[in-house]
Structure 1
Amino acid sequence: MDTHRLKYFLRIAEEGSITRAAGVLGIAQPALSRQLQLLEDDLGIALFRRTRRGVELTEAGERLRASTAGPLRQLELAVQYAGSPVARLNRNMLLGLLETAVDVLAAPLLGSLTAVFPDATFSVATGSTEQLVEAMLKGVVDVAVINPVPDERVFYRELLAEDLVLVGGPESDLDPAQPIPFVDAVALPLVIPRSSAGIGTLLQNAALRAKVTVDHRTTTDSVSAMKSLVDAGLVYAMLPLSACRREIDQGRMRFTPICEPVLTQRIGVAATSQLDLPREVMVKVGTTIRDEVAALVKSGRWQAEFVAAGSWNPALSD
């Protein structure tokens, strides 16, 4: 199958319009429509349905996008960097991932990094921001995706902002169409993070401003433990949607947005000044993480706001 047709398909899906996609790709709209028709003929399925605003994916189209976007991106990266000194890096790279971001980011990011650094191996540590910062300072982790921290030993570049939601068990009455005020959410039995960074800081600051007490039943820095307790119907939790999308889709959890105020966590890429990697490699690692996050946000797989600006280069930090 012609991979160009798959690229055209993905662009149409991103733009939601064949006309807009043709403009971005720099090809005539009839030619793009013809390529899409050939792809649908090859597969024997309809990939889009027409709407007043353009086109939207069919169920079969959604499945194709989910299964092809990552591999195509990794193939492009592998070809792009095949002759670069970056591609010849031959060592183990230590990555840290905020546990709330693992489900949405781990697989596509490792796929892209493997394509850029085909001779490297990767070790992945997950945890809270505090745990990952400590691991970076000890040299156990090279680069991490974390919440912001007020630590001058850590170079941090923000990537995205995403709102928290209230999640409950399958028997809860939470409704995505009916946001819950923060003061009502904290009156429910909650499981909250032990760590004071990230989500823990958001909850503490919002509670202080609202002059309320958070009614927590238990604390843990394990997102998996949080989700298990919520799934069992024992407690509620405040988490980003990306951390529990799978459980929600499977009917094991329900959710509703939080309002008055909206709680927004920020995530970025971080390293220390002692990072033992060549400058070109450091820049490429950060750029790959940034580009992967941007692609996930643009595709809708990560429901957040991409806020990164400029390049990531710890070697140039003060």
Structure 2
Amino acid sequence: MSKKVQWDLGRLRIFLTVVQQGSLTRAAVVLGLPQPAISRQISRLEAECGGQLFNRTGRGVTLTDMGEGLLPRIAALLQEADELSTQLDEDARLPSGEVRLAALPSLYMALSVPLFFELKKSFPTIRLQIFEGSAGQIDQWLANGFVDLGLPYRYARTLSDVEPLVQVSSFAVGAPGSELIANPTVPFSALDKQPLVLPGAPSSVRLTLDQMAKQAGITLNVALEADSTQIQIAVAKLGGAYAVLPPHAARAEIEAGTLHLSRIVEPEFNRTIVLGTTAARPPSRAARQVARTIRELFTRNRKYWELSGTGMGGR
């Protein structure tokens, strides 16, 4: 069995330079090496290849048939080695640059603020810009390239254009002691004619609730239209109307006991928080890192999203 050759990349680069220059003398000048050293390296390479690679002429050198056959393989090998070096060099540097993220307002404490501190600690050269908007606005910003990443809701089962992160239940939320939320769960039909504070159309939440109400044969009594989650929480906390929210949107008030809630069932109203990436341009290295950090935060804090309705109704 013949002994495998341990190819010397430096020797292969000398070969390629000689080919490009067509002369050992010119190759020596380009490489900054004495011509005898170039000749020795070529001779060693020819010994390793088992044949002559160059024809020596009075004007320089030309490739033999063996040299012609090996040239594309050697050129490809050196290119791959250069690409590997470039990749390793890039990986050794922290990703940097501006990343524009659109997020739902309800995620400000659950994700947006923790994301800032996580990036500040681990990737300080990434400059994060956060824009808050409804799911429809976020989808539009992703479509036109205004943002790099987006965190909207999805309600349908089709999630082909985005990456699902976590599914959350919807709850009827109101002031402590409210009759509608006296039990851990409440049938959707019980919302019939109850005063509600909901986002205005064409919000995805509102459209989905309107469709569910039509199918259930009930009437949604929208006492106030407000896209602001903070307004919905404030109105519900003061007993003006019931809000329909996922628990993370009002977690501080729920844990403080100033808001109670009851999970909507029969049917359930679930929403999926998803991660979208703009198709307007390839994601930058910094954007890819922010996306990875978002996934890690959701995985690490999964229990944060799992707030049961048990014991959270009116007391």
Q: What TM bracket, shorter-length normalisation? A: 0.5 to 0.7
SS of 1:273's equivalent in the other structure is coil
Superposition deviation, residue 87 in structure 1:
5.4
Partner deviation per Cα, 1:283-308 (whole Å, 9 max, x = no partner):
333222112112111xx212179xxx
Superposition deviation, residue 117 in structure 1:
2.4
Partner deviation per Cα, 1:270-291 (whole Å, 9 max, x = no partner):
121114543x444333222112
The equivalences for 1:195-206 within 5 A come to 195-206=201-212
Superposition deviation, residue 253 in structure 1:
1.1
8 Å CA contact 2:155–2:270 kept in 1: the answer is: no
132, 135, 150: which one aligns with 1:144: 150
Which letter does structure 2 place at the counterpart of 1:294? T
The answer to whether residue 306 in structure 2 is matched with residue 303 in structure 1 is: yes
Residue 304 and residue 277 in structure 1: after superposition, are their counterparts in 2 closer, same or farther (change >3 A)? farther
CA distance in 2, matches of 1:276, 1:161: 27
Correspondence for 1:124: 130
CA distance in 2, matches of 1:276, 1:97: 20
CA distance in 2, matches of 1:149, 1:171: 30
Partner deviation per Cα, 1:212-237 (whole Å, 9 max, x = no partner):
22111121211111111112211101
TM-score calculated relative to the size of structure 2 = 0.62
Correspondence for 2:120: 114
Correspondence for 1:248: 254
Residue 289 and residue 195 in structure 1: after superposition, are their counterparts in 2 closer, same or farther (change >3 A)? farther
CA distance in 1, matches of 2:148, 2:307: 25
How many pairs are equivalent?
A: 218
The equivalences for 1:133-212 within 5 A come to 133-148=139-154, 155-173=161-179, 175=181, 177-212=183-218
Residue 116 and residue 208 in structure 1: after superposition, are their counterparts in 2 closer, same or farther (change >3 A)? farther
SS of 1:301's equivalent in the other structure is helix
8 Å CA contact 1:96–1:125 kept in 2: the answer is: yes
Question: 5+ residue gaps in structure 2?
Answer: 1-88, 309-315
Which letter does structure 1 place at the counterpart of 2:211? N
8 Å CA contact 1:128–1:195 kept in 2: the answer is: no
Provide the alpha-carbon RMSD of the alignment. 2.8
SS of 2:268's equivalent in the other structure is coil
CA distance in 2, matches of 1:87, 1:220: 45
The answer to whether residue 271 in structure 2 is matched with residue 268 in structure 1 is: no
Residue 292 and residue 198 in structure 1: after superposition, are their counterparts in 2 closer, same or farther (change >3 A)? farther
Question: 5+ residue gaps in structure 1?
Answer: 1-82, 306-318
TM-score calculated relative to the size of structure 1 = 0.61
Which letter does structure 2 place at the counterpart of 1:256? S
